[in-house]
Structure formats: C-alpha cells, structure tokens
C-alpha cells in the first residue's frame, strides 16, 4: 500500500467516520490515572461489579383505562376517589391512577357506578408519579450519605411503571432494607392530658421537607423545615385550639410517630403557638438539638418525614447483595475474559487466514468496535453489569464473523477481484450481514420494552453493538480490505 | 488449511436428518418431563421461582449443611468467593423467620444474599417467556422477509428452533437454571444462531455454481464464523468458571451448548432440507 492509496483510504467517509468515532469514544471513556495513581475510566459499573445491595419495590397501585359516554376523566376520578376512599388521579382523558391495590374485577362495579367501563388494567403508577417516587427515594437515600445510589423506575411499553429498583453501593441487604424497604406510616399526634394523645394528621399532609439546618441565633440548634398542606395546617391549628396547646404549649407536646414509634416529641415554641391562635401556619421547623447528635437526629427525622410522603404503597418484590469479594472477583473475571476472548478470536482468525495483512485489519476492526461500544456506554452513563459484559464479549465473537463473511465473499475462489466485481461482492456480503443483524436486533427488541429488572440495559447494548457493526465498522472494513487487496 | 472437507454428497436427506431429528425428539421429551416435574421446560432459578439465598462461611460439608436445614426448602448449595451459597425456595413468612434464626444460630458469619418474592418471580418469568417467544417470532419474520420462499425460510426457522430446544434440554441435564443471565444468553442464541443459516441459504439460492461447491464454500465460511464465536464464549467460560462468576459462566455455557447444537442443525438439518429443495427446483 503506497502513500497515495493510504491517503485515499483515510479520505473515504466510511473509514473517516470510524476513526472519528474511535477518537470520540476514547475521549468519552477517558482513561486516566486517578489521585491514587490507579488507572481509572469514565465507565460506570453495575452493582454486580461492585459491592452493595439492591431492592426492587412493586407499587400497590394501578393505572386503569376506561371509556365513558358523558363523564369526563375528572368526573370519574372524583367519583372513584369517593367511592373507593383513596387517591384517584386523572392521567389523561381515558386513564386514571388508583393509589390503592384492587383487582380489575373488584374495580368494575365502581367504574360502572361512575358511568364508565374499564378498557385496560395495569398494576403500577403513571410516569409523573413514578418521577415523584424516584425523587423522593433519591432524596431519602442521598441524605444518608450513601454515595453511589441509583434509583431506576422500570416502565413497560404501555408507559406504566410497575417497579422501582434501587441499587446502593457499599451497604448490605439489611441496611438497604432499612433505608428504603419500609414505607413508614407517619403520624403527628398531640398530647392531651398526661400520657394521652390524639391524632392530628398523617404523613400525606406533609407536602415538602427541606434540608436540615443549623441556626446560630438559637444556639446552634439543628432543625428540619417542612411544609404542611392547607388541610394539614388547618388540622394542626384545630387540634392546637381544641386541646389548649396555644395557651400552654409545654404540657401539650407534639409527637411524631413513624410506624407507631415515637421519633420526635417536643413542645411547640411559645411564639409559634401564639401565632397559631390567629391563623393556620403551613411552614414548620422540627428542632432536634445541638452538635453531632442533633445533626444526626435531624437527618434521620428528615428521612422519616419523607417516608411518610411516598404517595403510593409499595411491596418489596426482591432484594439482593453483592459482597465486596464477589464484586472484585466479577470485575477481574470480566476484564480477563474480555482480553482472553480477543486473543483467542484473533488466534482462530490467524489459523484460518495465515495472512497478517488480513488478520490484523480484522482484529483491529473488531477491537475498534469494542472501543466505540464502550465509548457509547461511557457517554450515556450506562452501568455495565455482568450480562452486558457477556453480551459485549459475544459481540466480539459475532462481530468478527461478519468480517469473515465479507473477506470470504470478496476472496471468492481465491482470486482478488477487479474493483467493479469487488463492489458487487461487498454488496452481497453486506446483504447477508444486514439480514443476520436484523435477526439479532429483532430478538432483543422485546427485552427493550419489558420491565425485566436489569435486562433492558443488556438489550440496549446488544442492539447498539449490532448497529455500530452494520452501520460503521463493516462498511469501513470493506474499504480497508479493498485497499489492502489491491496493493 | 482445510482439516475437514465438508461433503454431504454421499448421504441422503434422510440420513443427514436422522441424528439431529433423534436429538430434537429426545430434547423435546426431556423438556416435557421437566415441565411436568417443575412446571417450566427449564428449571427456573431464584429470580423466576422466588426464594431466598444466603452466603455462609463454614467448614461443614454439604451433607452436614443439608442436615442443619432439614425441613426447609433448601434448593442448592454452591461455592462462591465469599463462602457457601445456600439457595432456598419460596416459603411462608413464619418459616422464613425460623429459617433466619437457624441461619443466625448456626452460622454467625453469614450474609443474606437475595430474597425474591414468589409473585415477583412469576411476573419476571412470564415476561422472560414472552420475550423469548416474541423474539423467536420476530426472528422468523425477518427470515421469511429475507428469503421470501417458504421451504428455505422454514428450514432456517426449524434449525433455530432445534438449537433452542437442544440447548434448553442440555441446560437441564447439566443443571443450568433459567435465570436473567441465561435468558439473555438464549435471546442472543435466537439472534446469532441464524447467522450461519442465512449465510448457507443465501449462498445456495442466490449464487451461481455447482450445488456441492456452494455447500462446501458456505461451510468453509460458516464454520469459521461459529469457531470465532465459540472461541470468545470459551474464553469467557474458562475465566468465569475458574473465578467462580456464576452468571457469566452460565451465560457462556449456554452460548457454547447452543453453538454446538447450531453446527449440527445448520450443516445437517438445514443443509439437507436446502439441498433437497434446490435439487427439486432444478438448481444444480
């Protein structure tokens, strides 16, 4: 291959695109030495390559589609909300979210009474509720300082989210359960006389919870600000008046309970109590004390306040732990398996062709495919897990298959063809490849749209592998091999 | 280098199909038997069946461990890097509570590894089965669109079907459960196993030349394709087997089994049907 031919090759758009993508991928992966002098990259790893725990929660709620002549979605939602005595949210013109678990058959009479007919039923929550749950859970976990927590909602093709999966690095299953598994039943009660208390409000009256703060003006006391709904604020005021809190706050403590366990018990500040006599107040602060103890108590209280605010009941569908030993073992095995696979595949190709001029471009094309895929993974912040790595290694094996198809098709009957015949044969080879790639693509599509825990990501990466191969690396390889053969 | 010359001239269609057909029937019988005993063609793992697993650090033998958990649904005992992994089937809350106390009493150094609700497992299982079925149908449609002739397309789909069935049967024999990982592997097989069939069919139907030469040429290319994928899967299998990375060795084992089945089904079953079809249609 002379200089002019090499230049012509580099100018070919297929080859140029391949090179540009390799460079971009290298930037996205960003191999570098971290502060400890260890080789690090931008690649993110799933739980099974680290150490930590996962929990998958199932929503005790359903999204129901209906048809109705006459009633609007709001009419139906209001009607159901009253008859079922639960929150019913209108999602769009023909769907409502019912925040309590019922079977379809249980719901049918209620819909009939509301002048509607059920057309679809799916356990889960709508996208907007899913987003809300996700952010509540993220807040809750982040406040505990768990550094690497991922909250992923698992949504089906119909847009209904049935599960949320939480992965936390560095904790075990019991700790993870403690953090997210339980949805607490939060309640504020008021002390009436002696040990007697009365109910004031439930956790759903808390509309937002702020970050814990330390106030210098009150002697470095830690507190958690929170906001009540209008009805919640009204309920608190009514209770305060009814039980005389506004006149004598110190003998009528406010008590917060989570799952019937007292988590907070303190009198209302006298000034706040006095204000309450004239007007309801939605903004409150719960003070927890000074120093580290006060701070920790504030953090815990904040989480508890959130726990009460999760809008839907959940069940723990599953949970699991990956130990540090297993995670490290998985990581090194993945690395060695990848390297060994590349070497053995190269060896098989070498045994077959015995021609470095063919073997080298094939192996390098194959390796560049890996780099581009890893670059894509790094760029979208996808967490690689073991099935994905197995998928990548399989792509390594099948990717080179297709280079074999191209090579054999072109070298048909051992003769190097003229450029015209060459292009004809390349097109024929690409036709086989496209058909083969289409089958892989179609085989993975069902997984992409199913909320089957971690396999959605695996399917995405496998599909990407196919696309990168068919669109980018194979056509480029076709050009490269043409230049090499025509020397 | 040509260590093996592919030549099926001297065998009749019936002779070629005999071995794969017997294996297919035996596999189907095995899967049917397994369905009768476990409710699924391939025994489902904890992710689909539901259940609980623990890692315990102990010097006890497997038999001693089984004695400790007499009365509990202990499904399997495996060695993993952190200790022995004990897997239990689904159970009532009361049983689970007593299991937890038995684990705590006997193995102070233990860790709860996973707990999967049985209903959740069932939901996952039905999704996985649905995914496999839809994948297979989708693959068949692509094949039919590609060739637009009934018998050659059917031969490819039949060959892929036989790959799946044989792989599933061998999974049962060697004790590989259906898990999320092996589901992924089976889906990869659906996609990848038809590569060589498509190559074979294209070469035979759409190329000029003598039929035996085209078959031999297709084999020459096809077998190296299978070898490279086999090499990658074998590398993965060896490393993960040595390191004890269960998901990975299960995935690679399923791929290896499937590739062996694919060689059989492509170059015996599919090639035989295709040759018969080509001769009948006057392709020489």
Percent over 90 (pLDDT), chain B: 48
When CB atoms are compared, the residue of B55, B198, B245 closest to A386 is B245
CATH of residue B191's domain is 1.20.1640.10
Across B137-141, B209-213, B222-226, the highest mean pLDDT is recorded for B137-141
Residue A190 neighbours by CB distance under 10 Å: 22
| Spatial contact of A481 and A406, defined as CB atoms under 8 Å apart | yes
Q: Are B171 and B232 members of one domain?
A: yes
- 3-state SS, residue A183: coil
Taking only the tens place, the pLDDT of each residue in B105-160 is: 888 888 888 888 888 888 888 889 999 999 999 999 999 999 999 999 999 999 99
Domains A3-48+323-485 and A186-309 share a fold: no
Integer Cα distance of A380 and A396 in angstroms: 21
In angstroms, the Cα distances linking A384 to A21, A124, A164, A389 are: 20, 27, 19, 7
The residue among B64, B99, B116 that closes a domain is: B116
Q: What is the mean pLDDT of chain A?
A: 84
User: Does residue B159 lie within any of the structural domains?
Assistant: yes
Residue A146, pLDDT above cutoff 70: no
Residue A183, pLDDT above cutoff 80: no
Query: CATH class for domain A186-309?
Result: alpha beta
Residue A39, pLDDT above cutoff 70: yes
Cα–chain-centroid distance for residue A255?
A: 36
The DSSP H or E segment spanning B232 is helix B211-243
Contacts of B104 in chain A (CB under 8 A): none
What distance in Å separates residue B208's CA from the closest CA in chain A? 12
Between positions 48 and 107 of A, the ones with CB within 8 A of B are 48, 56, 58
Integer Cα distance of A185 and A84 in angstroms: 20
Q: Are B20 and B124 members of one domain?
A: yes
Helix, strand, coil percentages for chain A (3-state, nearest 5): 55, 25, 25
Angle at A203 between CA A110 and CA A103, to 5 degrees: 25
Strands, E assignment, A279-401 = 283-290, 314-322, 383-384
Residue A259, pLDDT above cutoff 70: no
- Alpha-helical segments (H) within A119-217: 127-143, 173-176
- 3-state SS, residue A148: coil
Q: Are B100 and B210 members of one domain?
A: no
Q: Are B109 and B134 members of one domain?
A: no
User: Does residue B218 lie within any of the structural domains?
Assistant: yes
Higher-pLDDT residue of A66, A169: A66
When CB atoms are compared, the residue of B142, B181, B225 closest to A439 is B142
Residue A292 neighbours by CB distance under 10 Å: 9
B191 touches chain A (CB under 8 A): yes
Percent over 70 (pLDDT), chain A: 93
A405 touches chain B (CB under 8 A): yes
What distance in Å separates residue B199's CA from the closest CA in chain A? 6
A3-48+323-485, CATH topology level: Multidrug efflux transporter AcrB transmembrane fold (1.20.1640)
User: Does residue B2 lie within any of the structural domains?
Assistant: no
A118 pLDDT tier (thresholds 50, 70, 90):
very high
What does the block give as tokens for A367? 């390796």
Packing angle between helix B150-174 and helix B246-264, nearest 10 degrees?
140
The β-bridge partners of A199 are: A189
Taking only the tens place, the pLDDT of each residue in B181-201 is: 999 999 999 988 898 999 999
What is the ipTM for the molecules in this complex? 0.87
Q: Are B95 and B160 members of one domain?
A: no
Taking only the tens place, the pLDDT of each residue in A64-106 is: 999 988 888 988 988 898 888 787 888 898 999 998 899 999 9
| Spatial contact of B239 and A337, defined as CB atoms under 8 Å apart | yes
What pLDDT is stored for residue B171 in this prediction? Answer: 96
The residue among B116, B142, B172 that closes a domain is: B116
User: Does residue B174 lie within any of the structural domains?
Assistant: yes
Taking only the tens place, the pLDDT of each residue in B236-255 is: 999 999 988 888 999 999 99
A451 touches chain B (CB under 8 A): yes
Integer Cα distance of B177 and B47 in angstroms: 10
Q: Are B60 and B125 members of one domain?
A: no
**What pTM, to 2 d.p., does this model score?**
0.79
User: Does residue B6 lie within any of the structural domains?
Assistant: no
Q: What is the span of the domain harbouring residue B96?
A: 51-116
Q: Are B112 and B125 members of one domain?
A: no
Residue A372, pLDDT above cutoff 50: yes
A307 pLDDT tier (thresholds 50, 70, 90):
low
What pLDDT is stored for residue A145 in this prediction? Answer: 57
The DSSP H or E segment spanning A35 is none
Residue A184, pLDDT above cutoff 70: no
Integer Cα distance of B75 and B91 in angstroms: 12
A182 pLDDT tier (thresholds 50, 70, 90):
low
| Spatial contact of B169 and B29, defined as CB atoms under 8 Å apart | no
User: Does residue B252 lie within any of the structural domains?
Assistant: yes
Helix, strand, coil percentages for chain B (3-state, nearest 5): 70, 10, 20
What pLDDT is stored for residue B1 in this prediction? Answer: 43
Mean pLDDT (whole number) for A383-391? 87
User: Does residue B92 lie within any of the structural domains?
Assistant: yes
What pLDDT is stored for residue B145 in this prediction? Answer: 94
Mean pLDDT (whole number) for A287-299? 81
Domain count, chain B: 2
Q: Are B103 and B237 members of one domain?
A: no
A308 pLDDT tier (thresholds 50, 70, 90):
very low
Q: Are B75 and B38 members of one domain?
A: no
Torsion sign across C-alpha atoms B229, B233, B238, B239: positive
| Spatial contact of B200 and B221, defined as CB atoms under 8 Å apart | no
The residue among B94, B116, B138 that closes a domain is: B116
Taking only the tens place, the pLDDT of each residue in A389-417 is: 988 888 888 888 889 888 888 887 556 67
Q: Are B61 and B177 members of one domain?
A: no
User: Does residue B192 lie within any of the structural domains?
Assistant: yes
Residue B3, pLDDT above cutoff 60: no
Contacts of B82 in chain A (CB under 8 A): 323, 325-326
Nearest CA in chain B to A338: B236
Q: Are B162 and B238 members of one domain?
A: yes
B239 touches chain A (CB under 8 A): yes
Q: Are B202 and B130 members of one domain?
A: yes
What pLDDT is stored for residue A144 in this prediction? Answer: 60
What pLDDT is stored for residue A96 in this prediction? Answer: 93
Higher-pLDDT residue of B48, A173: B48
Domain segments of chain A: what residues?
3-48+323-485, 54-178, 186-309
């Amino acid at each position: 291959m002379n200089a002019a031919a090499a230049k012509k090759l580099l100018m070919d758009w297929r080859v140029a695109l391949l090179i540009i993508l390799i460079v971009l991928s290298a930037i996205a992966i960003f191999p570098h030495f971290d502060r400890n002098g260890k080789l690090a990259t931008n690649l993110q790893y799933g739980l099974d390559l680290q150490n930590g725990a996962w929990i998958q929660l199932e929503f005790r709620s359903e999204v129901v589609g209906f048809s109705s002549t006459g009633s609007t979605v709001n009419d139906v939602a209001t009607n159901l909300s009253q008859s079922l005595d639960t929150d019913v949210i209108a999602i769009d013109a023909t769907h409502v979210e019912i925040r309590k678990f019922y079977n379809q058959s249980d719901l049918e009479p209620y819909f009939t009474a509301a002048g509607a007919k059920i057309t679809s039923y799916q356990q889960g929550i709508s996208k907007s509720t899913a987003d809300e749950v996700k952010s509540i859970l993220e807040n809750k976990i982040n406040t505990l300082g768990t550094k690497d927590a991922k909250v992923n909602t698992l949504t089906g093709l119909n847009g209904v989210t049935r599960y949320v999966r939480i992965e936390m690095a560095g904790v075990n299953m019991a700790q993870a359960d403690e953090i997210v598994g339980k949805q607490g039943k939060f309640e504020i009660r008021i002390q009436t006389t002696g040990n007697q208390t009365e109910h004031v409000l439930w956790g759903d009256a808390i509309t937002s919870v702020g970050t814990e703060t330390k106030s210098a003006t009150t002697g470095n006391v830690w507190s958690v600000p929170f906001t009540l709904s209008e009805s919640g604020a009204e309920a608190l005021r009514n209770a305060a008046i009814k039980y005389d809190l506004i006149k004598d706050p110190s003998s009528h403590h406010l008590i917060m309970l989570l799952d019937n366990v007292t988590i907070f018990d303190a009198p209302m500040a006298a000034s706040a109590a006095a204000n309450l006599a004239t007007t309801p107040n939605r903004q409150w602060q719960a003070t927890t004390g000074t120093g580290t103890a006060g701070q920790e108590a504030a953090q815990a209280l904040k989480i508890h306040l959130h726990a009460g605010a999760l809008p839907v009941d959940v069940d723990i569908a599953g949970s699991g732990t990956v130990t540090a030993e297993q995670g490290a073992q998985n990581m090194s095995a993945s690395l060695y398996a990848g390297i060994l696979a590349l070497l053995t595949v190269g060896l098989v190709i070498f045994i077959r062709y015995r021609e470095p001029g063919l073997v080298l471009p094939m192996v390098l094309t194959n390796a560049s495919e890996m780099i581009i895929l890893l670059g894509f993974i790094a760029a979208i912040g996808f967490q690689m897990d073991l099935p994905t790595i197995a998928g990548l290694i399989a792509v390594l094996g099948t990717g080179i298959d297709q280079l074999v198809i191209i090579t054999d098709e072109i070298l048909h009957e051992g003769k190097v063809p003229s450029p015209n015949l060459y292009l004809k044969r390349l097109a024929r080879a690409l036709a086989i490849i496209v058909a083969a790639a289409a089958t892989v693509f179609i085989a993975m599509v069902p997984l992409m749209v199913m909320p089957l825990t971690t396999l959605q990501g695996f399917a995405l990466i496998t599909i990407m592998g196919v696309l990168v191969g068919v669109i980018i690396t194979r056509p480029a390889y076709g050009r490269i091999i043409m230049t090499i053969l025509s020397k | 280098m040509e260590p093996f010359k592919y030549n099926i001239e001297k065998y009749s269609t019936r002779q070629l199909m005999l071995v794969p057909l017997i294996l297919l029937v035996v596999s189907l019988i095995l899967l049917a038997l397994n369905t009768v005993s476990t409710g699924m063609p391939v025994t489902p793992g904890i992710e689909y069946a539901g259940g609980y697993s623990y890692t315990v650090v102990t010097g006890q033998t497997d038999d001693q461990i089984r004695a400790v958990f007499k009365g509990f649904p202990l499904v399997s005992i495996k060695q993993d890097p952190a200790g022995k992994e004990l897997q239990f089937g689904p159970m009532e809350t009361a049983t689970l509570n007593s299991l937890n106390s038995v684990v705590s009493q006997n193995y102070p150094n233990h860790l709860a590894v996973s707990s999967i609700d049985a209903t959740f497992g069932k939901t996952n299982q039905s999704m996985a089965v649905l995914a496999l079925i839809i994948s297979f149908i989708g693959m068949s449609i692509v094949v039919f669109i590609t060739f637009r002739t009934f018998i050659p397309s059917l031969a490819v789909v039949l060959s892929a079907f036989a790959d799946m069935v044989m792989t599933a049967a061998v999974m049962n024999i060697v004790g590989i459960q259906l898990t999320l990982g092996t589901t992924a592997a089976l889906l990869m097989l659906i996609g990848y196993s038809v590569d060589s069939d498509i190559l074979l069919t294209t070469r035979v139907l759409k190329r000029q030349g003598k039929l035996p030469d085209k078959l031999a040429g297709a084999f020459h290319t096809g077998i190296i394709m299978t070898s490279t994928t086999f090499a990658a899967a074998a590398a993965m299998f060896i490393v993960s087997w040595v390191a004890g990375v269960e998901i990975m060795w299960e995935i690679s084992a399923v791929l290896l089994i499937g590739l062996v089945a694919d060689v059989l089904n492509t170059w015996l079953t599919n090639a035989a049907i295709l040759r018969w079809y080509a001769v009948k249609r006057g392709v020489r």
